[in-house]
Amino acid sequence: MPPSNAKIIFILTIGVVSVSASAIFIRLAIEAVGNATIAFSLFLATSRLILASVVLIPNWFTLSRQKVPIQAYYYAVGAGFCLALHFATWISSLSYTSIAASTTLVTTNPLWVSLLGWWWFREKPSKLTFIGIFVALTGGLLIVLADRDVSSSYPNPLLGNSLALMGAILVSGYILLGREAQRKGLNIKNYITVAYTTAGLALLPSVFLFGQDYESYPLSVYVYVLMMAIFPQLIGHTSFNWALRWVAPTIVTMVILLEPIAASLLGVFIFGEIPAQEVIYGGLILLIGVGIAILGG
């Protein structure tokens, strides 16, 4: 029996609030260690996924009870790899650009969901969707150009914005593959168990490849990682994955558009990080474009 609209709205609201805290926990962790290396970004990405996977270990003992086609597991594993690369790129972006720019660009996923759905599943976007994509790309370009003018405030805004955009494309693959895994019969519990564990294991060796380890950080960093695993990952992402079974991906991605607004407001209150006017204008144009694309979908 499908859940009520009130329940769907409630769970999506909890999801938005939870994922909006992700950028804040990441920035707090970066400030705690005083550096912004790729290795540390990979440490944060891997640790939140591994911790989430540990919580889900009991599910592996009942996984075989659900009889589904093997393709469902292929989709779930593929989604896990996309999720791993999404976190590696997006978390790294927060070391180089503003919270507002990073979270706005990474939530352009409705555009990429439309384009990738067209490419992978022959789900051709409408003309209105193409108009929305053009408007959104214009807003994204404004953000990139604006951050070039404040490069003294952030180490490398162009790199950070590019990484955030890559993160958006990768999370779109994660959303589409996750939808297919559930369409093939995997329930939400088994799907997130496979996807989160795959993502964590895929990233696990990456920290060592950069000559770092998992044990050399202040206690506060591990507290922030734990918060990321509980709230943005287990509560936030799982809320969206659950909703994908009952509502269209376009609705879920539209709700995710609230993340950059909430994250930017938290950034202002916690870090005093006020975005440049051009970033605000570009973000508004980008969000309008994404909204147009969603209406066209």
Q: What digits encode the pLDDT tens for the residues 129-153?
A: 778 778 877 887 777 676 555 555 6
- Which of 295, 260, 285 is closest to 134 using CA atoms? 285
The residue assigned the tokens 């440049």 is 276
- Which of 286, 36, 282 is closest to 147 using CA atoms? 282
How many whole angstroms separate alpha carbon 233 and alpha carbon 30? 19
How many whole angstroms separate alpha carbon 232 and alpha carbon 131? 32
How many whole angstroms separate alpha carbon 179 and alpha carbon 160? 29
Q: Are 141 and 277 in contact (CB under 8 A)?
A: no
Q: Are 49 and 234 in contact (CB under 8 A)?
A: no
How many whole angstroms separate alpha carbon 186 and alpha carbon 108? 27
Q: Are 177 and 241 in contact (CB under 8 A)?
A: no
Going by C-beta distance under 8 Å and a sequence separation of 6 or more, which residues neighbour residue 119? none
* 241 has pLDDT over 90: no
Please state the pTM of the whole predicted model.
0.83
The residue assigned the tokens 């287990």 is 234
How many whole angstroms separate alpha carbon 234 and alpha carbon 186? 17
pLDDT top residue among 22 and 118: 22
How many whole angstroms separate alpha carbon 15 and alpha carbon 6? 14
Mean pLDDT of 55-77: 91
* 224 has pLDDT over 90: yes
pLDDT of res. 258: 74
Q: Are 218 and 32 in contact (CB under 8 A)?
A: yes
Structure tokens at 152: 């003294």
Please compute, for residue 278, the number of CA atoms within 13 A of its CA located in the half-sphere on the CB side: 13
- pLDDT category of residue 271 using cuts at 50, 70 and 90: confident
* 105 has pLDDT over 70: yes
pLDDT top residue among 277 and 164: 164
Q: Letter for the amino acid at 294? A: I
Q: Letter for the amino acid at 45? A: A
